[in-house]
Structure 1
Amino acid sequence: MDTEWYNDVPCSSIAVESIISVGTGGLIWGSCAGSYDAKQIGLTGIPRASFVAKTVGKYGFQCGLFAGIFSFTRCGIRRYRKKNDWVNALVAGGFAGAAIGAGTRNWKQVAVMTAFLSGFCAIADQSTPPI
């Protein structure tokens, strides 16, 4: 198999695969966190089920959104620069962090989220073996 497979696959396909896989992880995490938080609050019955369902949806959506923005941006930057290095992940993480943080409407949180996710993505990309 060719080692440059990412040049043949459309960025939209990479983003969709990423949204599905990371979004599913978010759903699983949301079910665990929602159940725990509902227990801490003391919810039972229908209010508990409603709270858990909202938490599952929120975590699944947020994780899928981040994954989609990150993977689509990283793929586009990689194709534009014709390089596969940590800079792609750094820029894509910053872009995804800014997009997620912009939903808070607090610019301090936008800056913190951008810096954190940008650095995290660059470190994670650097620690993975080359394709």
Structure 2
Amino acid sequence: MDSSDQAKTKFAVDESITLRYKIVNLTKRTQKIGFSSSQRIRAVIVNEKDEVTHDLDSSLMYMMALSEVKINSSDSQHFSVLMSSLGLSRGSYQIRAALALKDISSQMLIEQHTGQFYVSCSFQIE
């Protein structure tokens, strides 16, 4: 199998902003209200059916925030590697991250967190 046979990650056209930028901004907002963001940001990956495939822990989100992972088609190699390491199959996905004021389930994260303490980005694995 050569490299052209491997799954490739493709991002939605409107996702030209970096995930790092989104997470850093979320981090700043949590700190403004006095929370330690490294323990308070919860994130999940959901599939096309809106089902949670992965519950990402805060250390992974922190790592993604520090490593300028770009969410756009021109520089998606590092993100592709990261997503491949999670074992995602082909399809459309979304990462959703939100401020968790208490220990909440992934489903609550999806249903109840909106507005300034919520970020998301879409991507596709082909």
Taking structure 2 as the reference length, what is the TM-score of the superposition?
Answer: 0.29
**Which of 1 and 2 has greater Rg?**
1
Name whichever structure is richer in strand by fraction.
Answer: 2
Name whichever structure is richer in helix by fraction.
Answer: 1
| More contact order relative to length (CA 8 Å, sep ≥ 6) | 2
Taking structure 1 as the reference length, what is the TM-score of the superposition?
Answer: 0.29
